[in-house]
Amino acid sequence: MKIAVFPGSFDPITLGHQDIVSRGLPLFDKIIVAVGKNANKQYMFSLDQRLEWIQQTFSDEPKIEVDAYSGLTVNYCRDNGADFILRGLRNPADFEFEKAVAQTNRKLNHQLETVFLLTSSGLSSISSSIVRDVLRHGGDYTQFVPTAVRVP
Ligand code: ADP
């Protein structure tokens, strides 16, 4: 069974994330969208809120699981039988960062392959941090996020 983990903060999930997961579906038998818990990071939304939005976004897709984890992504993959990490690439900065992470992960676990999907045109400018900025200043964030993400 080909299992991929799509790790991230998803603070909040955006149309960019949704696109990468949807396009990854034909490649894998199962994709686990895994929210990493990092004690040193300040999040805008609680873990429960972020998980709920992801679950609602993919509620019609049986091949997608949603989970939270802490610690090394490679260990989470091993514990869940995943041989693949799925990531998205938006720009050269993503590439440089992702290259270092993927090469390190492969040193930690030689079985693990990171699969990159290029952002779809029109979605490359979307990031969770920009969505948070728009939200903080009262802008229309709804055009950047799945319909499940609504902030009262
Ligand atoms: P992290 O905190 O690990 O960067 P994010 O939630 O910001 O987590 O992103 C998770 C993954 O989604 C990363 O691989 C990132 O490159 C990808 N991603 C985020 N936004 C987009 C987008 N607009 N298009 C394609 N991939 C994206």
C-alpha 92/C-alpha 43 separation (Å) is 25
Q: Compute the distance from residue 62 Cα to the ligand 1 centre, in Å.
A: 22
Q: pTM for the complete prediction?
A: 0.96
Q: What is the pLDDT of residue 2?
A: 98
Residues identified as active-site: 17, 41, 90, 128
C-alpha 53/C-alpha 45 separation (Å) is 10
Q: Is 12 close to ligand 1, i.e. is its CB under 6 Å away?
A: no
Beta strands 64-70 and 84-89 are unpaired
Report whether the peptide linkage leading into residue 12 is cis, meaning its omega lies within 30 degrees of zero: yes
CB of 51 within 8 A of CB of 148?
no
Of 101, 94, 86, the residue nearest 7 (C-alpha): 86
Q: Would you give the end-to-end CA distance of the chain in angstroms?
A: 40
Q: Compute the distance from residue 127 Cα to the ligand 1 centre, in Å.
A: 7
Q: What is the pLDDT of residue 114?
A: 98
From the CA of 125, give the closest atom in ligand 1.
23
CB of 140 within 8 A of CB of 111?
no
Q: What is the pLDDT of residue 138?
A: 96
Tens of pLDDT, residue by residue, the chain (152 residues) = 999 999 999 999 999 999 999 999 999 999 999 999 998 999 999 999 999 999 999 999 999 999 999 999 999 999 999 999 999 999 999 999 999 999 999 999 999 999 999 999 999 999 999 999 999 999 999 999 999 999 98
Q: Bridge-partner residues for 36, per DSSP?
A: 69
